[in-house]
Amino acid sequence: MTSPASPKEDVQFLALLVHRGHLDREDAESLMADLRTGARLDDLLRALPGWDAERVETLRRTNAGEIPEIPGYGILDRLGTGGTADVFRAREKRSGRLLALKVLKQEFVGNAATRKAFVSEARLLERLEHPGLVKGYGVAKVGRTYFARLELIDGRTLLEILDDGSALGEEAALRAVLEVAETLRYLADEGVVHRDVKPGNIMLSSSGRMKLIDLGFAAEGQDAPAPGESAVGTVAYLSPEQARGGASADIRSDIYSLGVTLFHLVVGRLPFDSSDDRELLRMQIMESLSSPELKGRDLSPHLHYFVEKMMAKDADVRYQDWGELIDDIRENLEGRRSLDYSRGARPPRRTRRR
């Protein structure tokens, strides 16, 4: 049996219960007043409606649900955390295989919209089949815990690689973008717009494969954003039309975000950056792309052309479909050994079939 918590530990645990959505602030303030009189937090919690000794013991043992307890799985370690969910490496006890468990944070369990989005993403990943997507194996609920079972990928995100301080070489970046574009073409063929393409959502597996690992903002046909919907996705990678609200977002918005990703991979910074999200949205809509690094570094004019065409403010000026972009990048990569891609060479002009 564990020894009683100290008053200081009780206060810290109470704050954690509020932070993780187990208690609202008003209840916590009432309990805090009782703690000041010398009462024990566990006794106070057990007296609350809907609480009992087992729930209190479980929350103590799991640090307020930070470490999930899911029957049939052994949690090994935390792989990452996002805005609404944590991802853990886990072993399935029955089969012994390793999986990634994506667990909805307790503070969002009561939010119907967030809960619906979590379940929808899990079901979408379960339905889709592509080597460039993390595979989903279903979603389930145990008590108040919602979790999705996912393929465990050994590797690092492109953002983690960038955060190590090194940008990718031009050819490596183009090969990465080509693989991601092929996966996004598959999604488009399935009627899905990703809406959150960025280095943090792209993982380089130990086998060398690029994998999209998050479809949390993805929209299918009938779930496409309605007029007036607020922008969704990561602000720094949003297309101008997404920044305006999202109603006109389509695959060309994903092409824009992949263009920002390409820029980030080769330059090592974002094309537009600000600590103020509203200012960043304004820059995405109003400011032209200006990067001395693209011209000043040993980067080919072809790369400059790809970035500018993918990131055109006017969606009608961008690549209009994934096949067009994929063909251009593949042709560029295949022709590098025989064509002059040194600085000063002009991008090839291609005749488009209408």
| Whether residue 212 sits in one domain with residue 167 | yes
Residue 88, phi then psi, degrees to nearest 5 = -125, 145
Q: Mean pLDDT of all residues in the chain?
A: 85
Tokens (6 digits) for 152: 């465990």
Domain that holds residue 283: 155-334
Region 110-136: mean pLDDT is 95
| Whether residue 322 sits in one domain with residue 186 | yes
- 133 lies in some domain: yes
Q: Can you give the pLDDT at residue 243?
A: 77
- 37 lies in some domain: yes
| Whether residue 217 sits in one domain with residue 185 | yes
Domain count, the chain: 3
- 351 lies in some domain: no
What pLDDT band is residue 63 in, cutting at 50, 70 and 90? confident
Tell me if the pTM is above 0.75.
yes
Tokens (6 digits) for 50: 């809907």
| Catalytically annotated residues | 196
- 354 lies in some domain: no
Q: Can you give the pLDDT at residue 351?
A: 45
| Whether residue 291 sits in one domain with residue 159 | yes
Q: Can you give the pLDDT at residue 229?
A: 45
Taking CB atoms within 8 Å and a gap of at least 24, the contacts of 107-110 are: 107/19, 107/20, 107/21, 108/21, 108/84, 109/21, 109/144, 109/145, 109/146, 110/21
Whether 138 has a pLDDT exceeding 70, the answer reads yes
Number of residues in the chain: 354
| Whether residue 164 sits in one domain with residue 137 | no
What pLDDT band is residue 235 in, cutting at 50, 70 and 90? confident
Selection from 132, 135, 2, 18 nearest residue 65 by Cα? 18
What pLDDT band is residue 136 in, cutting at 50, 70 and 90? very high
Q: How many beta carbons lie within 10 A of that of residue 109, not counting itself?
A: 21
Q: pLDDT per residue over 196-234, tens digit each?
A: 999 999 999 999 999 999 998 888 754 444 443 444 567
- 66 lies in some domain: no
Region 230-243: mean pLDDT is 74
| Whether residue 82 sits in one domain with residue 51 | no
| Whether residue 250 sits in one domain with residue 218 | yes
- CATH number (domain holding residue 301): 1.10.510.10
202: left (phi over 0), alpha (psi -120 to 50) or beta: beta
